[in-house]
Amino acid sequence: MERIPVLRMGSLLLITIQVDMHDKLAMQLQDDVTQRISEWGSTGVLIDISSLEIVDSFIGRMLANIAGMSRVLGAETVVVGMQPAVAITLVELGMSLPGVRTALSVEAGMELLFGAVTAAKSGSGDERTEA
């Protein structure tokens, strides 16, 4: 069965979505991510959606859900590389993904995650303190 690979990079999870998302795939991804976080004790999740060109409200909610679930499991989520058309579509759908962090590129996303992870480790659990 088709599924989106979840890669492990040290304490981070790397997910690159390179196919058109459909609802079943999204549900499968939710299962996989939560499973892996608890299995490997990951502290950060990076989702690269730079190849994603079509979104609907379900996919938008799925992104927000993954971020929410990861936070419950103790991991920070960053969504990187959103296309302009995708961003406009999500805004027009009224989904501003309030709990999700975003970055322009994988590199910037990694930086953000490392910053957030070290901040969390040093005790100041406030997630809004990143630069």
Partner 1 sequence: MNQLAEIISKNEDRIRAEWMRDMSKIVQRTDLISKGELDEQSRSLLGAIASGVKSSGSTEISGTEWTEARDLLEDISASRARLGFSTVEVATFVMSLKRPLFSAIREALSSDQDKMFNTVWAATELLDRLALVTTEAYMTAKEELVMRQQQEILELSTPVVKLWDGILALPIIGTLDSARTQVVMENLLQTVVATNSKFAIIDITGVPTVDTLVAQHLLKTITAARLMGAECIISGVRPQIAQTIVHLGINLEDVITKAKLSDAFALALQRSGRTVTRISSAPVNPISSLFSRREE
Instruction: Give the whole-angstrom CA distance, residue 78 versus residue 111.
Output: 10
Q: Does 30 bind partner 1 (CB under 8 A)?
A: no
77 φψ region: left (φ > 0), alpha (ψ -120 to 50), beta (else):
beta
Can you say whether the dihedral through the CA atoms of 122, 67, 15, 49 is positive or negative?
negative
Judged by CB under 8 A, which stretch of 4-12, 39-47, 101-109, 115-123 contacts partner 1? 101-109
Q: Does 19 bind partner 1 (CB under 8 A)?
A: no
Q: Does 104 bind partner 1 (CB under 8 A)?
A: yes
Q: Does 131 bind partner 1 (CB under 8 A)?
A: yes
Note the Cα 89 to chain centre separation in Å: 18
Q: Does 84 bind partner 1 (CB under 8 A)?
A: yes
Contact present, 67 and 98 (Cβ < 8 Å): no
Q: Does 82 bind partner 1 (CB under 8 A)?
A: yes
Binding site for partner 1 (CB under 8 A): 79-84, 86-88, 90-92, 96-97, 102-105, 108-109, 131
